[in-house]
Structure 1
């Protein structure tokens, strides 16, 4: 396995700082976040004002800069963290082309958020699924033309929160050009299935693994019916409800030897300490062999 970091989780660093710091720490690769994201006051955060993010607007003109930044650090691309909805064909086309030009091989395209789309359009899950399948078929064709792969992420609140749902969506498409990102932390929130069973179910569509951790905490509040209210929060890799060790063991048992990308949104440790500690932890679980 090779280890990389998704820059959604490195909000305090510029792209050049992220690349040089991760390379110095010994990471194998980087997964760049590409989305329009600026704050008026210049503040930075994971999902607002993230300084490690390449802005989507004008991204086609910055391919050379991205390549130089990555190559100067000696890092590989584990993929591209795109945010373009699969229904946005122009946006998906742009991201597929950028991925191809970079030689980054694979890029995430985002799935519809079930509840918000249902409230906005009135569409049922089945209608959203059928519409998304048609969009994904189009994306698969363009990915094939460009020699890259479009990735569907297992993500809570979308129409693909589980391996079962994702397999149903991608089934029958060319796994050379459509794949699935299995995400350990997201599954703590929604979509959890036995990991090995999920990997076997996805089969050739298992293209990438994202690792973070999460936990459910009691808010101390109760609903009108007297039941407790719980909320989810991100946690350090060792401290969430999922076992990273058991997850990596299941990946190995399945024969997966691809990228494992960390996106740790916890803040218990400062950023540089957090990324260094995460790599040391991963290496302890998957020792480097000669």
Structure 2
């Protein structure tokens, strides 16, 4: 099966959930990855609403490769807070069941790897194992996104966490844009090291810059100190996705690649142009 394309609905965050899906289908994506917070697929949605949305997606010919939740972040939380995260996560498992979606994003949180302790990994792994056991009841895989400023910000640290969780239905979401920030390899070596633990792929472009006042710029503390980054359109930043896509082909990856460009926009028409650009670039990389 060929690699398929999806769009993260956060790119179209100024539209309703239904309007965003309609535009994604019109542009020509294969899938739609909902942002699981207001104004899109937040946990307060009823199952009736989610069922109606599933029918809408069926009419549009769109699949849901992953639910992009913001749940988890167990490191540093009390037992009561962790239990609450689990309950919210299970709500999204119910949504995934309705939407015929096999992956739900759920993360460990925590400090960056350079500050993380063994206790941080142990704490996160124990709660993620509980989450995985709940997810298994829905035939769902947990996707842990490789993300800066978490204990899973590199391939090595993510692999360590997955080993400590020790559940077959937990894997990694590859994100070259995030890995560029932490200076982790995001090409062939990353895909080979993740192996069967690679369950989903996010794609976005970033650029290191000197001016924090440029549109969309954000600052993060890295191993090299405080640095400034700016989201860019795919193919116009510093993240060369070519080797990644070659590696995905070599590995026989047959899932989705989800575009999640964070370039700031002013108008709804700008959103459309961003979504169209990202698909064109994804298709070029896949070609």
TM-score, length-scaled by structure 1: 0.82
C-alpha distance in 1, partners of 2:160/2:67?
24
Q: Residues 27-106 of structure 1 correspond to what in structure 2 (within 5 A)?
A: 27-35=29-37, 37=38, 51=39, 53-85=40-72, 87=82, 88-106=85-103
Tell me how far 1:244 sits from its aligned partner: 2.1
Q: 2:124 matched to 1:132? A: yes
Tell me how far 1:228 sits from its aligned partner: 9.4
Q: CA contact under 8 A between 2:108 and 2:128: conserved in structure 1?
A: no
C-alpha distance in 1, partners of 2:225/2:63?
46
- The equivalent residue for 1:151 is 143
- The equivalent residue for 2:217 is none
Tell me how far 1:191 sits from its aligned partner: 5.1
- The equivalent residue for 2:270 is 270
CA 1:167–1:230 in structure 2 vs 1: closer, same or farther (change >3 Å)?
closer
Tell me how far 1:173 sits from its aligned partner: 2.6
C-alpha distance in 1, partners of 2:255/2:225?
40
CA shift digits 1:168-227 (9 cap, x unpaired): 11126333x111100011111115125222212211110000000111101389xxxxx9
Tell me how far 1:90 sits from its aligned partner: 0.9
C-alpha distance in 1, partners of 2:33/2:58?
13
Mind listing any 5+ residue stretches in structure 2 that lack a counterpart? 75-81, 214-223
Task: Give RMSD over aligned pairs.
Answer: 2.3
CA 1:197–1:75 in structure 2 vs 1: closer, same or farther (change >3 Å)?
same
CA 1:214–1:138 in structure 2 vs 1: closer, same or farther (change >3 Å)?
same
- The equivalent residue for 1:121 is none
- The equivalent residue for 2:194 is 202
Tell me how far 1:110 sits from its aligned partner: 2.4
C-alpha distance in 1, partners of 2:175/2:236?
17
- The equivalent residue for 2:22 is 20
| Over 4 Å off, 4+ runs | none
TM-score, length-scaled by structure 2: 0.83
C-alpha distance in 1, partners of 2:232/2:120?
32
How many equivalent pairs are there?
Answer: 259
Q: CA contact under 8 A between 1:218 and 1:228: conserved in structure 2?
A: no
